[in-house]
Structure 1
Amino acid sequence: MSDDVMAVIAREIEARFRMPLDDLRQAVAAVPQASPDAAAVVKWYGMLTEAQQVLERAENALVAALDDSPGDVLEDPVMQLAHQVNTAVQVRDGRAMVVRHYLDPHAPSREGPGAWRGIEAGPHCGPALQTAAIPRATAAPSAPARGVSR
């Protein structure tokens, strides 16, 4: 299944740049500044590949631990492996989103402040709600405490 995800993204890269992925890697290695988007896609696809490998190792370790685990109750080491798998999935999916962002010709600008949020740099606006300082209560003159003489 995970190979399918990587194959789909590889096909999307090849379709976007109209060349095989290996040729694109070589072209970017030769002249990285020729296409910033191609360079970013190659970089992030490499990071995605690494994340996929980490995920596969974590899944294999979890499956092995589950095979060795007696009973229905999962011990802490097995739960730790399950958490590692979840984290690896999140990292892999995040990197896949970045690759897809770079592949999208209609994506917001990738340059400048706020580019990943889809906003352009502009004048700073104030808060959506007007805020004011909280008024301080004025202290009344202190009276001597009862039972205390001066």
Structure 2
Amino acid sequence: MSDEISDGTVDVVDVLTEQIEARFGLSMEQLKAAVTEAPAANLDATDLVRWHGLLLESQTVLDRAEHDLLAVLETEPAHVFDPAHDLVRRVEAAVLARDGRAQAVRWYLDPTAPGKQALAAERLARFRATRPGPAIPTSAPPRPANAPQAAQGVTR
């Protein structure tokens, strides 16, 4: 993962990672280890670690989709054609997944977020005790058969 996006802005994953580390006073690796050792000790930490992992997965899918789209556009820059349209849709889907997961991480980081106080917080605690995981599939979208393969080690 790159430290900065090509336009010079800081990557959303890096910002959220720093916020998580600041909240718990631990690096993500230390926090992951603590959650693995005692997942019920701090449910907010457990949820944040899980959603951060999903966010990283989404960012990887987005990076790959953007790389594939750029590769196609570089080969035929003057023409927009079906493979490029498919790749644009893949990028859009990856952005939506990444941004949705970033919103979940932001929600867990905000102690005053809607639904975290009073009756809503009690309901959330009961829900947490019974839920199996995210309701949205977390696998990467299918790649078109004619899409170029991503090169190893290439970041944006």
Q: TM-score, normalising length from structure 1?
A: 0.70
Shift in alpha-carbon separation, 1:111–1:65, aligned structure 2, 3 A:
farther
- In structure 2, the residue matched to 1:79 is 85
Shift in alpha-carbon separation, 1:86–1:12, aligned structure 2, 3 A:
same
Residues matched between the structures, number: 113
Secondary structure of 2:87's counterpart equals: helix
- In structure 1, the residue matched to 2:32 is 25
Secondary structure of 1:34's counterpart equals: coil
**Alpha-carbon shift at residue 103 of structure 1 (Å):** 0.6
**Alpha-carbon shift at residue 29 of structure 1 (Å):** 0.3
Supply the AA of the counterpart residue of 1:80.
D
Mapping of residues 4-15 of structure 1, within 5 Å: 4-15=11-22
Shift in alpha-carbon separation, 1:75–1:5, aligned structure 2, 3 A:
same
**Alpha-carbon shift at residue 19 of structure 1 (Å):** 1.3
Structure 2: runs of 5+ lacking an equivalent: 125-156
- In structure 1, the residue matched to 2:42 is 35
**Structure with greater contact order relative to length (CA < 8 Å, sep ≥ 6):** 2
If you compute each CA radius of gyration, which structure gives the higher value, 1 or 2?
A: 1
Identity among equivalent positions (%) equals 44
Deviations 1:75-120 (A, max 9, x none): 011111011101100100000000010011112225527xxxxxxx
- In structure 1, the residue matched to 2:123 is 112
**1:102 aligned to 104, 108, 128, which one?**
108
Aligned pair 1:50/2:57, yes or no? yes
| Mapped partners of 1:86, 1:75: distance in 2 | 17
Q: TM-score, normalising length from structure 2?
A: 0.68
Supply the AA of the counterpart residue of 2:74.
D
Supply the AA of the counterpart residue of 1:112.
R
Deviations 1:13-40 (A, max 9, x none): 0111111111100000000000010000
Shift in alpha-carbon separation, 1:70–1:9, aligned structure 2, 3 A:
closer
| Mapped partners of 2:35, 2:43: distance in 1 | 9
- In structure 1, the residue matched to 2:68 is 61
Secondary structure of 1:112's counterpart equals: helix
**Alpha-carbon shift at residue 4 of structure 1 (Å):** 2.4
**Alpha-carbon shift at residue 46 of structure 1 (Å):** 0.2
| Mapped partners of 1:47, 1:57: distance in 2 | 15
